[in-house]
Amino acid sequence: MIKNLQKKYALSEQGAKDLIKGCIACVLQNISFMFPVGLLYSLVKDLINGGIYEPFFYIIGCIFCLIFIIIATYFQYNATYFATYVESGVRRVTLAEKLRKIPLSFFGKKDLADLTSTIMSDCTFLEQSFSHFIPELTGSIISTLLISITLFIIDWRMALAALWVMPISFAIVGLSAKIQEGFNQRSMDAKIACADGIQECIETLQDLKSNNAEKRYLKGLEKKIRAVEYRSILSEFGLAAFVVSAALVLKLGIATVALVGSVLLIKGTLEILTFFMFLLVVSRLYDPLQGALQNLAAVISTRTNIARMNEILNHKIQQGEEKLINNGYDIVFDKVSFSYNTGETILKDVSFVAKQGQVTALVGPSGGGKTTVSRLASRFWDIDKGKITVGDMDISKIDPEKLLSLYSIVFQDVVLFDNTIIENIRIGNKDATDEQVIQAAKLANVDEFAEKLPQKWNTNIGENGCQLSGGERQRISIARAFLKNAPIILLDEATASLDVENETLIQSAISRLIKDKTVLVIAHRMRTVAGADKIIVLSDGCVVEQGSNNDLLKNNGTYSHMVNLQTESQKWILK
């Protein structure tokens, strides 16, 4: 049962146990509310029979009912609300941890707004679902079944008159599940599209202004906002149409109890006291049932949110051995093939060796697979065919985090944090001292601009380093790699945003850093890779050439053609 609840509602083991406790607590609370009805029934019975002979019984009974209701409510509150808030926190942490272990191929299908919505909005909806909807629905159903058994024991005819509406009402709401899921999914899609539009508008405001495209873009954004409004109204209407219809059917039970009871009274086959008791019970019974109908509709609505969370929780993760067994740091690609989820083949039978102590450069036309090779080398994705080894160690069998301890990586797209310069560099080694951080920063020529800032190394650089230039941001990223000082270095267009002077300085620093290390460089500038020990030329996902700069120039192939094109482009001038 615990496992089924975990799977069905995206819960932790403790969350599933707490959900059961919450349901039991709601059952006890609903039953506690029926005790005053029983006490009132006894009081009326005594009055009809001639008077109250034991007043202390009713005084003690009222006190008992009050205490029982208070205890049941206290238990219900703790078992639902408090436990739910804890579970919501656990869900967010669990989702974040799972995202950390999922291959990057998963993120190619998702955007930031979608994942953020899952962790924040869906988990918030989980709070409502497990503090209100599911426990109260379960409590209402179970307590109603227990009360129904009692009613059938007292008088089956009146019980049928009171309860026939229940299965019909719940069937109306239950059969609307597919319609509601469709409404909810379209509403969710509209919200994600709107969130994407707002985020894109903020991020590209500079480009929109420079191209006088603000009004046109905002018109499109307004349509997305209106779409959210329209879809929300449709979802609410779709929910209300079924719930209100079911509630109307439920209210017919009061009429049938009164009608059947009156007929039986006239025939003399029903006591007036029993008739009175049934009227009391149904008046108390239908209110929580009406709430149960709304809760059932709400539980159905949670399926969309739960499915989104389960998509993350059930996704295959990258695993492997914690122990590194490599012998050296040579990177070997052996007939490696790879394709993204779209099915489009990116790499086909790629084979090469990047030797330790040498610089291996990856060049080729855009879209040829250079960046993909670097990502596969560090197991950001898993390959489809072939084998990748580091020091004869198959990287597919090694835990990704453990494997990445061997790599210092500088990406083409630099990501910085809203923090100080020194703390952004310390990402490379969290245990590094300030002196070690600054030493690494000087190797990357960061001190040139950091020392000129108002607070120097402790200057906050803003969100994603917005207060720095592209070259300054890239130098901080390079400084991280220096600080980590790993045996394998991956440089993806590491000097693309640097001017000629700084590029030369960084290249000199890299030259000092790469002694006895494996270096894999991706670059478009031929002058950047001219001094590499080995150059791999990739085109359309295949290795078309490999060798030294001089050898490739002599071949007069793809590499030679690229060098000639860049040489020609350098002669271009404004006229």
Interval 204-213: pLDDT, tens: 777 777 777 7
| Res 182: pLDDT | 80
113 and 231 belong to one structural domain = yes
Residue 378 covered by a domain: yes
Which two three-digit tokens encode residue 104? 């990057």
User: Could you report the per-residue pLDDT of 272-329, keeping only the tens digit for each?
Assistant: 878 877 887 777 777 777 777 777 777 777 777 777 788 777 778 778 888 888 888 8
Domain count, the chain: 2
262 and 379 belong to one structural domain = no
Residue 71 covered by a domain: yes
240 and 325 belong to one structural domain = no
Q: Is 341 exposed, middle or buried (0-12, 13-18, 19+ CB in 10 A)?
A: exposed
| Res 495: pLDDT | 66
Mean per-residue pLDDT for 50-73?
78
**Quick one: which H or E segment has residue 23?**
helix 13-32
As a whole number of angstroms, the distance between CA 76 and CA 24 comes to 8
Residue 520 covered by a domain: no
307 and 397 belong to one structural domain = no
| Res 218: pLDDT | 84
Give yes or no for residue 357 having a pLDDT over 60.
yes
109 and 251 belong to one structural domain = yes
Residue 559 covered by a domain: yes
Residue 396 is part of a domain; what is its CATH number? 3.40.50.300
Q: In this structure, are residues 337 and 386 in contact, taking their beta carbons and an 8 Å threshold?
A: yes
Could you tell me what percent of the chain has a pLDDT over 90?
0
Please, what is the angle between helix 156-163 and helix 134-154, to 10°?
Answer: 150
334 and 267 belong to one structural domain = no
| Domain boundary pick from 272, 289, 312 | 312
187 and 275 belong to one structural domain = yes
| Domain boundary pick from 280, 312, 344 | 312
As a whole number of angstroms, the distance between CA 424 and CA 431 comes to 13
With the CA atoms of 40, 43, 45 and 47 taken in that order, what torsion angle do they form, in degrees rounded to the nearest 10?
Answer: -140
Residue-number span of the structural domain to which 384 is assigned: 321-406+531-575
| Res 93: pLDDT | 81
| Res 566: pLDDT | 67
Pairing of strands 407-410, 345-354: unpaired
Residue 72 covered by a domain: yes
Q: Tell me, what amino acid is at 432? A: A
Residues of the chain by 3-state class (helix, strand, coil), percent to 5? 65, 10, 25
| Res 137: pLDDT | 78
User: How many other β-carbons are positioned within 10 Å of the β-carbon of residue 329?
Assistant: 20
DSSP per-residue codes, 126-148: HHHIIIIIHHHHHHHHHHHHHHH
The long-range contacts involving 230-235, CB below 8 angstroms and separated by at least 24 positions, are 230/190, 231/183, 231/186, 231/187, 231/190, 231/191, 232/187, 234/183, 234/186, 234/187, 235/180, 235/183, 235/184, 235/187, 235/301
CA atoms within 13 A on the CB side of 162: 29
Residue 111 is part of a domain; what is its CATH number? 1.20.1560.10
CA–centroid distance for 230 within its chain: 25
297 and 343 belong to one structural domain = no
Q: Name the DSSP class of 105.
A: G
| Res 10: pLDDT | 65
User: Could you report the per-residue pLDDT of 215-245, keeping only the tens digit for each?
Assistant: 888 888 888 888 888 888 888 787 778 888 8
As a whole number of angstroms, the distance between CA 525 and CA 522 comes to 9
CA-wise closest residue to 461 among 447, 476, 448, 481: 476
Residue 487 covered by a domain: no
240 and 383 belong to one structural domain = no
User: Could you report the per-residue pLDDT of 142-166, keeping only the tens digit for each?
Assistant: 777 877 888 888 888 888 888 888 8
Buried b (16+ CB within 10 A) or exposed e, 275-289: bbbbbbbbebbbebb
| Res 57: pLDDT | 76
Range of lowest pLDDT (104-108, 127-131, 184-188, 569-573): 569-573
349 and 284 belong to one structural domain = no
As a whole number of angstroms, the distance between CA 287 and CA 69 comes to 17
Residue 480 covered by a domain: no
As a whole number of angstroms, the distance between CA 500 and CA 508 comes to 12
User: Could you report the per-residue pLDDT of 461-517, keeping only the tens digit for each?
Assistant: 777 777 777 777 878 888 888 888 888 888 887 666 666 666 676 666 677 667 778
51 and 135 belong to one structural domain = yes
As a whole number of angstroms, the distance between CA 305 and CA 10 comes to 10
Residue 341 covered by a domain: yes
Give yes or no for residue 53 having a pLDDT over 80.
no
103 and 138 belong to one structural domain = yes
User: Could you report the per-residue pLDDT of 386-444, keeping only the tens digit for each?
Assistant: 888 988 898 888 888 888 888 888 877 778 888 888 888 888 888 888 888 888 888 88
Residue found under tokens 């990357």: 444
| Domain boundary pick from 312, 334, 352 | 312
